[in-house]
Amino acid sequence: MSSDKDHEAVNVSGPKAVDISGLEYPETVVFVGGFDPLQDRQRSYYEWLKKSGKQARLIEYPNMMHAFYVFPELPESSQLIAQVKDFVSHKCKTSNS
């Protein structure tokens, strides 16, 4: 068995993507750093979710690099963590109603 960068386990929204249009799928938030070398994959993932009829939100940080949120000294790190917290809190409230 060979593998490549488009293996469905690595690139879930790539050319070998599984059709998820008929599946229940949670609302998703996708964060993209403008200097992240993976930003094209992240945007493709977001677009794949939308084309599959799933609720997805894209939040971009144009001046940030990959995994910038692990650097607490960056103000954007705290901002992203707060956005994740708000997203999860909102999802918990709506699922309990």
Instruction: Kindly report, residue by residue over 14-32, the tens digit of the pLDDT.
Output: 999 999 999 999 999 999 9
Rounded CA gap, 68 and 70, in Å? Answer: 5
Q: Is residue 10 part of a domain?
A: no
Q: Is residue 54 part of a domain?
A: yes
Q: Domain range holding 38?
A: 28-96
Number of domains in the chain: 1
pLDDT > 70 in the chain, percent: 97
Q: Is residue 91 part of a domain?
A: yes
Q: Is residue 21 part of a domain?
A: no
Instruction: Give backbone dihedrals phi and psi of 57, rounded to 5 degrees, phi first.
Output: -125, 135
pLDDT of residue 45 exceeding 90, the answer is yes
Query: Within 13 Å of residue 5, how many CA atoms lie on the same side as its CB?
Result: 2
Q: What is the pLDDT of residue 10?
A: 85
pLDDT of residue 2 exceeding 70, the answer is no
Q: Is residue 92 part of a domain?
A: yes
Q: Is residue 7 part of a domain?
A: no
